[in-house]
Chain A
Amino acid sequence: MSITVKNLRVSFDTPHGAVEAVRGVSFTIGREKVGIVGESGSGKSLTARSILQLLPSRARMTADELSFDGIDILATRERAMRRIRGKRAGLILQDPKHSLNPVMTAGAQIAESWRAHRGGSRRAAMEAAENLLEQVQIREPGRVARAYPHELSGGMGQRVMIAMMLAPDPEFLIADEPTSALDATVQAEIMRLIDQIASERGMGLLLISHDLPLVSHFCDRVLVMYAGRVVEELRAGELGQARHGYTRGLLSCLPSLTHPTARLNVMQREASWLA
């Protein structure tokens, strides 16, 4: 299972002309955990969604190569994409309040995901749903299965999303800012859960985030994106040896508990980074 991206470009039409949001991004992902870090507007989310052809309709995508386990994504039609999405590659989004159906119980949604890809009776699906809820470390799976999304906390909602995504047993997972809407403690718990699940099942993981320390803590490799380009690629433990000005800027502007400063370092953006 490997994903290859070569020279990916995504652009949008605006009244002021075409704007390129992703400008020639290339990378490969195997059965490993890769993080893409960047600020809003860096193109990280669009890059991840391109892999599953989930771009907004106004977006135009080109690439020299974009393949999922040998399947050429660029040439794949929508119907074939549906066999990949969900079944082979799962997607977790940021805010469970927006990505869970508010009028279905959590258990029903997980069961639906199960049945869509694996078939089987409704009862079998509901049982599988509760089983999955246990796997995502929810202590009272029965109660949560019968609850509606608005009755669940942010962390629980995210666990439900993960369970839904796991139902078809995919090989690859894209997590788009899965913890940005959560508190610090819950963030860590959810990330540990994702990490554990990916390791146990031998899944590939693509983690999108703006939180560099969080990503480097849980990924093997980190790609840093700025203005639509990958400006640096690092192994997780090597952040201290980051060379590009943007990466170093990101690291240095964080407030630190142990090394307090009167003023935080502010990123000085160089025009050369846009080249």
Chain B
Amino acid sequence: MAGVMVDVQDLRVHFGSVEAVRGVSFEVARGSAFGLVGESGSGKSSVLRALAGLNSDWSGTMRVDGADLTPRRERAFFRRLQMVFQDPYASLHPRQTIDRILSEPLIVHGFDEIDRRIARALDEVSLPAGMRFRYPHQLSGGQRQRVAIARALISEPEVLLLDEPTSALDVSVQAEVLNLLADLREARGLTYLMVGHNLAVVTHLCQSLAVMVNGEIVETVSSDDLRAGRVQSPHTAALRDLSLDLAEAHGEPAGAEPTFGAGPGEIARRAL
């Protein structure tokens, strides 16, 4: 699909007295997934927060689906753009049941058939219906993150901001959540903007990504090029080397074994 969904030009974000983001520009095509990779302090989360309207101390241009964003956001904006936070242990209200948490966006936006929508949302993220009236502390980290994803999608947005959604999860749970995110994006035609520090995870979900260092983008590259080593910035090369270094430690993944529940889809093997 053609069309730019998220367009950021020369964005500068201040976090208190610090300039966390210093002139960042990128575009995310409609229906695609774009990654922002960098270390803590690189400013990647600040970009997300400025886009989401959680930080109004920014300058530059930000456009979602062609419309310019202002420091104050209208309620209608939040129907188009939502966010999944990093820490599943902090992103759900500790005193509200899952049912209540999921109903909140529906109530605020004035949806109807709230009961049915909640049931469907839980089903979409493969959470058993029995979880619906539990409290967050009765759920595991992976289950909480699924609730967070369900909450983000329940108001039917078109853009999803993902702030390191799997960093706090075990690898087995991470695999499930990443698969879920990939499926949802395809099923609903969503646009993703994902922030992370693990190159393997980000390239798995995103077609292209930008590497941020100290508040600036040092390189924007497609995942294919990154895998093949066609990178220009030494920072990117270093990140790639690190990822490969750790991957060598366990040799080739046993991805070809059919007994491990490999889902539909090809397993592409590429030469380095």
- A residues sitting closer than 8 Å to B (CB atoms) are 39-41, 153-154, 182-186, 188, 210-214, 216-217, 236, 239-240, 248-268
Q: How far is the CB of B248 from chain A (nearest CB, A)?
A: 9
B253 at the interface (CB under 8 A from A): yes
B266 close to A (CB within 8 Å):
yes
Asked whether, in the complex, the Cβ of A210 is within 8 Å of the Cβ of B242, the reply is no
Q: How far is the CB of B168 from chain A (nearest CB, A)?
A: 9
A184 near B197 with CB under 8 A, answer yes
For residue B9, CB closer than 8 A to chain A, the reply is no
**A-B pairs with lowest CB-CB distance, top 4:** A262-B265, A253-B175, A240-B251, A255-B204
10 further A-B contacts with Cβ under 8 Å, apart from A40-B140, A252-B257, A258-B270, are A39-B171, A183-B40, A188-B246, A251-B250, A253-B171, A257-B200, A257-B247, A259-B252, A259-B253, A260-B227
Tell me whether A39 and B260 are in contact (CB under 8 A).
Answer: no
- Bound CA–CA A185/B153 (angstroms): 32
Find B170's partner among A210, A257, A261 (CB 8 Å cutoff).
Answer: A210
A253 and chain B: residue at smallest CB distance: B175
Question: B176: CB under 8 A from chain A?
Answer: yes
| Chain B window 228-245, contacts with chain A (Cβ cutoff 8 Å), 1 for yes, 0 for no | 000000000011101111
Indicate if the CB atoms of A184 and B250 lie closer than 8 Å: no
Q: Which residues of A contact B227 (CB under 8 A)?
A: 257-258, 260
Which B172-219 residues have C-beta < 8 A from chain A?
172-176, 178-179, 182, 197-201, 203-204
A-B contact pairs, 17 of them (CB 8 A): A39-B171, A40-B140, A188-B245, A217-B246, A217-B249, A250-B172, A251-B254, A252-B255, A252-B260, A254-B200, A257-B200, A257-B203, A262-B182, A264-B178, A265-B175, A266-B260, A267-B260
Is B18 positioned at the interface, with any CB of A under 8 Å from its CB? no
Min CB distance B30 to A, Å, is 21
- Which chain B positions have C-beta within 8 A of A248? 254, 257, 260
Bound-complex Cα distance A214 to B242 (A)? 11
Query: B171 contacts A211, CB within 8 Å?
Result: yes
- Nearest B residue to A267 via CB reads B172
Interchain nearest-CB distance for A180 vs B (Å): 9
- Name B252's contact: one of A182, A185, A186, A240 (CB within 8 Å): A240
Which residues of A are found within 8 Å of B226, using beta-carbon distances? 257
Q: Are B40 and A154 in contact (CB under 8 A)?
A: yes
**Least Cβ distance of B195 to chain A in Å?**
12
CB of A273 to closest CB in B, whole Å: 12
Q: Which residue in chain B gives the minimum CB-CB distance to A217? A: B249
Question: B residues within 8 A CB of A265?
Answer: 175, 253, 255, 260-262
A210–B175 Cα distance when bound, in Å, is 14
Residue A153 contacts which of B41, B172, B203, B253 (CB distance < 8 angstroms)?
Answer: B41
Question: Which chain B residues lie closer than 8 Å to A212 at the CB level?
Answer: 171, 250
Q: Give the distance in Å from the alpha carbon of A217 to the alpha carbon of B242 in the complex.
A: 12
Instruction: Chain B residues near A257: list those with CB within 8 A.
Output: 199-200, 203, 226-227, 240, 243-244, 247
Please tell me if the beta carbons of A260 and B239 are within 8 angstroms of each other in the complex.
Answer: no
A259 to B200 CA separation, bound complex (whole angstroms): 10
Bound-state CA distance A183–B250 (Å) is: 20
A-B contact count (CB 8 A): 160
Whose C-beta in chain A lies nearest to the C-beta of B265? A262
B72 contacts chain A at the CB level, 8 A cutoff: no
B249 — which chain A residues lie within 8 A by C-beta? 213-214, 216-217, 236, 239
Is B267 positioned at the interface, with any CB of A under 8 Å from its CB? yes
- Chain B residues within 8 Å of A264, by CB: 175, 178-179, 204
Task: Check A40 against B251 for contact (C-beta < 8 Å).
Answer: no
* Complex: A254 Cα to B227 Cα, angstroms: 16
Q: Is B141 an interface residue when CB atoms closer than 8 A count as contact?
A: yes
A39-B170, A240-B250, A260-B227 known; A249 vs B266 contact (CB < 8 Å): no
Query: With A185-B239, A216-B249, A260-B268 as given contacts, are A255 and B255 in contact (CB-CB < 8 Å)?
Result: no
Considering the complex, give the chain A residue whose CB is closest to the CB of B176. Answer: A266
**Separation in Å of the B203 CB from the closest CB of chain A?**
6
User: Contact between B41 and A254 (Cβ–Cβ < 8 Å)?
Assistant: no
Q: What is the minimal beta-carbon distance from A211 to any residue of chain B, in angstroms? A: 7
B151 CB, nearest partner CB in chain A, Å: 22
Residues of B within 8 A of A239 (CB): 249-251
Whether A252 contacts B170 by the Cβ 8 Å rule is: no
Contact B175 A261 (CB under 8 A): no
Name the residue in B173, B244, B249, B267 with the highest tally of chain A Cβ atoms < 10 Å from its Cβ: B249
Chain B residues near A250 (CB-CB < 8 A): 171-172
CB pair B199–A184 under 8 Å, yes or no, is yes
Check if B203 sits within 8 Å of A186, measured CB to CB: no
